[in-house]
Amino acid sequence: MSDQPTVTAYEIATVNFDRAADLLDLSPEWRTMIRTPFREMKVEVPLYRDDGSFTTFIGYRVQHNGARGPFKGGIRFSPHVGEQEVKALAETMTYKTALVDIPFGGGKGGVNVDPRDLTQRELEHVTRRYVSRIHLILGPNRDVPAPDMGTNAQTMAWIVDQYGRQHGYSPAVVTGKPLELGGSPGRAQATGRGVMLIALAAARDHLGKAPADLRVAVQGFGNVGMNAALLLAEAGATVVAVSDHTGGFHNPGGLDVAELAAYVTRDDGDGTLAGYPGAEPVGADDFMGVDCDVLIPAAIEGAIHKDNVASVQARLVVEGANLPVTPEADRQLDERGVLVVPDILANAGGVIVSYFEWSQNFQQYRWSEADVNERLERILLKAYHDVAAKMKALDASMREAAFALAIGRVVSAEELRGSL
Ligand code: NAD
């Protein structure tokens, strides 16, 4: 596909780390210690298909750093999942939880399976086999997965059940569960809500624009992209373009996001934008160049890269996805004065509400959605202001400031533990 990353997720993570480590004047020994994962697990995930054939997928769980609390991070089902990608995403989680100052470390998992190729029964089996291989390193106080690309609340329900068979009732072993099984109100929308809150704050502070003056384009119309688009439209912004892996739609006068969401989530649909009749299609190559104020890549790694960055018209890029801007594209955007809000801040809403879910599970108590949303906003905007202050103090980009703040907290936790 023309919009595939030109550098790997791991290379992006390395540049992000190195720049901040330079600002912190971190020694080579500390750099190696912080970057090296605590533990990496690679497992077979065998499956008898419904047609009787037999396939074996590869599953991973990387626990990057647990100095500040249990490892925390999603499980991704995607044919692109590989060791280096999972490592990079696990490391990103370490800095995300540190930046928003919640008591977790960073982890990530995945299976190199395309969930769209599997039936529900097959997906359940893949999930259960994967959990049966990694359950010994999971646990409410050890490692707490969540949904990510290609997984959802149903996947988490299977994980709770499978884990519970060996360890007893443990709802806090995963977050992003269905409400009926101890999920938190507001969790499904949380990452998109966080993207919306950060986009509006950054647009106010850096573009001097109110929500009603904003034109927004969102790549990815899944959990993050769809909810961010819906909430931005609700806040008064004009969503001019959206896309998913099947294609995109553009209307300079504004798309009807609620109608698009209803189209994608309709009972007899395939969960994609394909065939949407209400707007003009826009090709993947043209999407990043759509005329807008705010561009939100909320799909894949490396989506904005050296070959399409010159076309970006937005003055503000908000990273809904993890690692969606390559270092070269980031450098060019910075030179052009385009503010890029880094993933570890922009998409931290999900892990913050995961923290609320985990807390509620320990308490066996349910908070109201209004309470969840209010606490989310407080924690996320505090992190936003902390990063803004650090940007000034270091005279650095928002990404450098966010990573410096986060890495500094991880180093400090390691030093205090004294466990080296
Ligand atoms: P999802 O599976 O719900 O949705 C992914 C969307 O991206 C789909 O609409 C898919 O069609 C689209 N997509 C895939 N390839 C594409 C391409 N080449 N071009 C355009 N669109 C494409 O996944 P999600 O949970 O929304 O996650 C999206 C990103 O956000 C990932 O990077 C994930 O790691 C990150 N993230 C997710 C959460 C969360 O709570 N779900 C939290 C933080 C970060």
* CA within 13 Å, CB half, 76: 25
pLDDT at residue 2, rounded to an integer: 39
212 lines ligand 1 (CB under 6 A): no
pLDDT at residue 6, rounded to an integer: 62
Q: Is 240 helix (H, G, I), strand (E, B) or coil?
A: strand
pLDDT at residue 231, rounded to an integer: 98
183 lines ligand 1 (CB under 6 A): no
**How do strand 215-219 and strand 280-282 relate by DSSP bridges?**
unpaired
**Centroid of ligand 1 to alpha carbon of 299 (angstroms):** 4
Cα torsion for 304, 192, 135, 417, to the nearest 10°?
80
Phi (first) and psi of residue 251, to 5 degrees? -150, 110
CA distance 245 to 243: 7
pLDDT at residue 3, rounded to an integer: 43
Residue 168, Cβ density class (10 Å: 0-12 exposed, 13-18 middle, ≥19 buried)? exposed
**Centroid of ligand 1 to alpha carbon of 30 (angstroms):** 32
**How do strand 238-244 and strand 143-147 relate by DSSP bridges?**
unpaired
Kindly state the tokens that stand for 152.
């959802």
Kindly state the tokens that stand for 387.
């990063």
122 lines ligand 1 (CB under 6 A): no
222 lines ligand 1 (CB under 6 A): yes
Is there a contact between 298 and 287 (Cβ–Cβ < 8 Å)? no
Query: Which residues 6+ apart lie within 8 Å of 116 measured at CB?
Result: none
pLDDT at residue 133, rounded to an integer: 98
Is there a contact between 397 and 16 (Cβ–Cβ < 8 Å)? no
Fill in the amino acid letter for 13. Answer: A
109 lines ligand 1 (CB under 6 A): no
Of 72, 96, 108, 177, the active-site residue reads 108
Phi (first) and psi of residue 125, to 5 degrees? -65, -45
Cα torsion for 98, 103, 106, 112, to the nearest 10°?
-130
- What is the per-residue DSSP string for 21-62? HHHHT--HHHHHHHHS-SEEEEEEEEEE-TTS-EEEEEEEEE
Q: Specify the ligand 1 atom closest to the Cα of 350.
A: 40
CA distance 363 to 295: 39
**Centroid of ligand 1 to alpha carbon of 78 (angstroms):** 11
pLDDT in 10s for each residue of the chain, 420 residues: 334 446 888 999 999 999 999 999 999 999 999 999 999 999 999 999 999 999 999 999 999 999 999 999 999 999 999 999 999 999 999 999 999 999 999 999 999 999 999 999 999 999 999 999 999 999 999 999 999 999 999 999 999 999 999 999 999 999 999 999 999 999 999 999 999 999 999 999 999 999 999 999 999 999 999 999 999 999 999 999 999 999 999 999 999 999 999 999 999 999 999 999 999 999 998 999 999 999 999 999 899 999 999 999 999 999 999 999 999 999 999 999 999 999 999 999 999 999 999 999 999 999 999 999 999 999 999 999 999 999 999 999 999 999 999 999 999 999 999 966
Q: Specify the ligand 1 atom closest to the Cα of 324.
A: 32
- Residue 209 bears catalytic tag: no
